[in-house]
């Protein structure tokens, strides 16, 4: 069985190596490809490694069944879709092969020489090297156009980031395909230019080096510096713990030495790391979560040093031209589970960040103070961190919201960037229309960022918050050019409200959960126009239960009630662009949303709101019914004002606190006051 996707056909995937990361790569592939019936073949010359890898994958899938992540039949399908073999001929016919063997160029070249003889000429060959330049790995290949690095991060089945690193000979068509393919299967790929270590590992290993140098100087023990660095950078685990979990000491030993020559002289392998590798032991970090004592004075020393190294490293990476701020910010935060660096610098002040780096460079003269950090500090402005991307396709702009760690949730930065981008589109005479979509396959926009709600204290705060967001949506609605919302996944709350501000909407076909207004489950009402636009688009009778229950509807139901124009089976982006051009040419006419008051039916459907707050429901009904008797402009302002009233209720606090603590799975125990 084959999957025809983005102009290529994938019928078999191979993974070479059943050691540290190969089985996890195979696990992810079988999870996303088993429904298409695409087999995943794991090859390793060592039978012991194959058995170990198979057992590991089986254990992870079993734990997934127990946690509810997988159904039993899905788990069985995933396992049966995987093959473990020492026979390379099993890769005959493979269309994509990922090599995940040891970091030895001789071994890698031998593997790819075999693959050239076995696999079809159309097959794509990728190495999961963590450091080596693609030109070096594939130097002896006959056809280098189909070869590149795809670097996964630990654990590969859960970490969404992959670095796609083409070599100088890699065909642009191959790189472009893989960027789209990985996004389609749920990863967040970033394209990185070839350099030793690529974009992220020099940062990962640089943070570790900065921590180790502090231990070597006697600032603290491994346990103490590990804990202090974790706290200072918001790391998921400390740098020494990360080395233990990934088994990274030998690779880092070699990597730091190579980086000394290829990136900068500050990178080097300290004697303490050499001794640790020779001993074969893990770093003494204690148990994860163990309380480690240290003085606040020592913490300040460690915090200043590791933050300085972190800021300098990310700025050096961007300054080198191999990556950009938007990609690196997203990738580092997700892959390394660390506070996003450019947001950190903006929070403390870019000038303060530069001061930290300069102090660090005085202590370590070989540490380079990046020129881009100096210039940014001199500008007096914060870093511009793109979360909304614009790509012009001739006369149509493609606008993509990209915050994969939050399922593209709307925050103040996203709303501001949307406003700026659509203002530019409005003023750009070359652009006749736009397509608005979300990054990935799970979500268009999962809603508004609830963290921002927790900072609002008064009804006026909440009302102004809504009105400011409405400005952006009103801009899109009244752009004077068609805006097609390509719903690549779910659209909840503010996401659905943003979609309804567009000229029309299309959605991926067969989405069991597409859209909804879940605000009542949080003890609030919509604030970006949900109570006003939804009845005007789908009619009061259809909108009433959606608004009051907070329950989502499918793409099929959304089409039936007129919320979307069409379900799309193919490439939703290309279909969105085609839709925009049909409207531009006059081939397709989409009536604008009703701006005048609308009639409220004499009788509305009975709605069982279950456990939901009766007080919130009262406010929601008031906003919806009274707003219908107003113009859309007046109704939107009315909705914002009533949203502000929610802050006076006990149930808003209960709803928000329950969501922040337990997520959407737990029902809030509303008091109805």
Tokens of 115: 């693959």
The pLDDT averaged over each successive group of 10 residues in the chain (673 residues) is 91 96 97 94 96 96 93 95 97 97 95 96 96 97 97 95 98 97 96 97 98 98 97 96 90 95 97 96 87 96 98 98 98 97 98 98 97 98 97 97 95 97 98 98 93 89 96 98 98 98 97 97 97 97 97 98 96 96 96 95 93 97 97 98 96 94 91 94
Give the other-Cβ count within 10 Å of 366's Cβ: 11
**Residue 557: C-alpha distances to residues 496, 515, 538, 672 (Å):** 14, 10, 11, 31
Written as six digits, the tokens of 615 are 């007080």
Q: SS3 of 97, please?
A: strand
- 563, with CB counted inside 10 A (0-12, 13-18, 19+), is buried
Chain position carrying tokens 């007046």 = 634
Structure tokens at 296: 């606040």
Quick one: DSSP state of residue 20?
S
* Residues 6+ away with beta carbon under 8 Å from 583: 433, 482, 484, 503, 504, 589, 590
Q: Is 497 one of the catalytic residues?
A: yes
Cα separation, 624 vs 530, in Å, equals 9
CA distance 248 to 252: 6
Residue 37's region, left for phi above 0, alpha for psi from -120 to 50, else beta, is: left
The structure tokens 């705060």 sit at 461
DSSP symbols for 299-354: HHHHHHHHHHHHHHHHHHHHHHTSS-HHHHHHHHHHHTT---HHHHHHHH-HHHHH
Among 515, 548, 553, smallest CA distance to 531 is for 548
Q: Kindly give the residue spans of alpha helices, DSSP state H, lying in 166-270.
A: 172-184, 201-216, 222-233, 239-246, 249-262
Task: Name the phi and psi angles at 597, rounded to 5.
Answer: -60, 150
What does the pLDDT read at residue 450?
A: 85
Nearest residue to 507 via CA among 537, 487, 483, 485:
487
Specify whether the CB–CB gap between 526 and 635 falls below 8 A: no
Beta strand pairing status for 433-438 and 396-401?
parallel
- For residue 226, count other CB atoms closer than 10 A to its CB: 29
Integer Cα distance of 493 and 485 in angstroms: 15
DSSP H/E element including 298: helix 296-320
Query: Catalytic: which of 99, 157, 333, 497?
Result: 497
Residue 583 three-state SS? helix
CB 423: neighbour CB atoms within 10 A? 13
pLDDT value at residue 39: 97
Phi and psi at 231, nearest 5°, equal: -65, -40
Active-site hit among 99, 133, 205, 519: 519
The phi and psi torsions of 486 (rounded to 5 degrees) equal -95, 100
At which residue do the structure tokens 């406010």 appear?
619
Instruction: Give Cα 2 distance to the centre of its chain.
Output: 27
Strand order in the sheet with 515-516: 443-445, 490-492, 515-516
Q: What is the pLDDT of residue 663?
A: 87
Evaluate whether 156 touches 31 at the Cβ level (below 8 Å): no
Question: Which tokens go with 118?
Answer: 């076995």
Using an 8 Å Cβ cutoff, are 550 and 534 in contact?
no
Contact 14, 92 (CB under 8 A): no
Q: What is the separation of C-alpha 416 from the centre of its chain, rounded to a whole number of angstroms?
A: 19
Determine contact, residues 123/115, Cβ cutoff 8 Å.
yes
Q: Give the closest residue to 624 by CA, choosing from 614, 608, 612, 636.
A: 636
Q: How many angstroms separate the CA atoms of 160 and 568, rounded?
A: 25
Cβ density class 334-355: b for 16+ within 10 Å, e for less:
bbbbbbbbbebbbeeebeebbe
H or E element, residue 421: helix 412-427
Nearest to 325 by CA among 385, 376, 381, 265: 385
Structural domains of the chain sorted by starting position, each given as residue range(s) with its CATH number in brackets: 3-191 (3.40.50.720), 201-379 (1.10.1040.50), 388-665 (3.90.226.10)
The count of other CB atoms within 10 Å of the CB of residue 259 is 25
| Other C-beta atoms lying within 10 Å of the C-beta of residue 95 | 19
Structure tokens at 31: 């999870």
Catalytic (active site) residue 99: no
Backbone angles phi, psi at 139, to 5 degrees: -55, -35
Contacts with 591 (C-beta within 8 Å, 6 or more apart), sequence order: none
Burial, 121: exposed, middle or buried (Cβ in 10 Å; 0-12, 13-18, 19+)? exposed
The pLDDT of residue 246 is 85
């Amino acid at each position: 069985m084959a999957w025809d996707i983005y102009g290529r056909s994938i019928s078999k995937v191979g993974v070479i190596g059943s050691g540290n990361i190969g089985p996890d790569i195979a696990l992810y592939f079988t999870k996303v490809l088993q429904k298409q019936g695409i087999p995943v073949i794991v090859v390793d010359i060592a039978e012991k490694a194959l058995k170990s890898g198979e057992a590991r994958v089986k254990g992870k899938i079993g734990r997934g069944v127990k946690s509810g992540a997988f159904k039993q039949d899905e788990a069985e399908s995933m396992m049966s879709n995987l093959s473990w073999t020492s026979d390379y001929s099993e890769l005959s016919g493979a269309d994509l092969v990922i090599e995940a063997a040891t970091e030895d160029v001789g071994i890698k070249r031998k593997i790819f020489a075999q693959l050239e003889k076995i696999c079809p000429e159309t097959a794509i060959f990728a190495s999961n090297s963590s450091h080596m330049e693609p030109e070096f790995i594939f130097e002896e290949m006959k056809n280098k156009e189909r070869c590149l690095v795809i670097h996964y991060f630990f654990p590969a089945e859960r970490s969404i980031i992959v670095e796609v690193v083409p070599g100088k000979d890699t065909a642009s068509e191959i790189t472009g395909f893989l960027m789209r393919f990985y996004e389609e299967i749920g990863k967040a790929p970033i394209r990185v230019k070839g350099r030793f270590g690529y974009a992220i590992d020099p940062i990962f290993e640089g943070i570790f080096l900065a921590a180790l140098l502090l231990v070597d100087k006697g600032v603290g023990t491994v346990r103490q510096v590990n804990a202090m660095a974790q706290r200072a950078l918001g790391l998921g685990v400390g740098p020494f713990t990360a080395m233990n979990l990934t088994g990274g000491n030998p690779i880092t030993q070699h990597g730091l030495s190579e980086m000394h020559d290829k990136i900068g002289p500050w990178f080097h392998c300290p004697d303490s790391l050499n001794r640790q590798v020779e001993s074969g032991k893990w770093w003494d970090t204690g148990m994860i979560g163990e309380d480690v004592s240290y003085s606040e004075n020592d913490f300040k020393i460690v915090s200043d040093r590791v933050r300085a190294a972190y800021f300098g490293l990310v700025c050096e990476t961007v300054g080198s031209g191999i990556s950009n701020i938007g990609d690196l910010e997203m990738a580092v935060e997700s892959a390394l589970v660390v506070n996003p660096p450019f947001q950190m610098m903006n929070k403390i002040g870019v000038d303060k960040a530069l001061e930290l780096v300069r102090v660090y460079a005085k202590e370590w003269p070989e540490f380079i103070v990046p020129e881009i950090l100096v210039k940014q500090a001199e500008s007096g402005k914060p870093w511009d961190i793109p979360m909304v991307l614009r790509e012009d396709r001739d006369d149509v702009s493609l606008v993509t919201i990209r915050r994969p760690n939050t399922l593209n949730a709307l925050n103040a930065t996203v709303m501001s960037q949307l406003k700026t981008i659509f203002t530019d589109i409005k003023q750009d005479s070359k652009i006749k229309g736009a397509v608005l979509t979300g990054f990935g396959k799970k979500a268009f926009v999962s809603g508004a960022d609830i963290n921002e709600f927790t900072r609002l204290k008064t009804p006026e705060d909440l009302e102004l918050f809504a009105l400011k967001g409405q400005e952006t949506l009103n801009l899109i609605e009244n752009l004077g050019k068609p805006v097609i919302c390509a719903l690549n996944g779910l659209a909840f709350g503010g996401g659905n409200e943003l979609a309804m501000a567009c000229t029309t909407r299309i959605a991926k076909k067969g989405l069991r959960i597409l859209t909804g207004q879940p605000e009542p489950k949080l003890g609030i009402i919509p604030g970006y126009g949900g109570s006003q636009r939804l009845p005007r688009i789908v009619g009061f009778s259809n909108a009433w239960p959606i608004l009051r229950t907070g329950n989502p509807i499918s793409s099929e139901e959304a089409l039936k009630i007129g919320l979307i124009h069409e379900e799309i089976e193919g490439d939703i982006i290309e279909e969105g662009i085609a839709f925009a051009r049909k409207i531009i040419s006059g081939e397709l006419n989409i009536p604008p949303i009703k701006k005048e008051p609308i009639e409220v039916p004499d009788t509305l459907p009975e709605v069982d709101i279950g456990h939901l707050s009766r007080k919130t429901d009262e406010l929601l009904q008031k906003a919806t019914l009274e707003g219908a008797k107003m113009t859309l402009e007046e109704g939107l302002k009315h909705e914002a004002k009533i949203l502000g009233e929610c802050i006076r209720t006990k149930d808003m606090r209960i709803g928000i606190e329950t969501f922040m603590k337990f997520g959407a799975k737990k029902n809030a125990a509303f008091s109805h006051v």
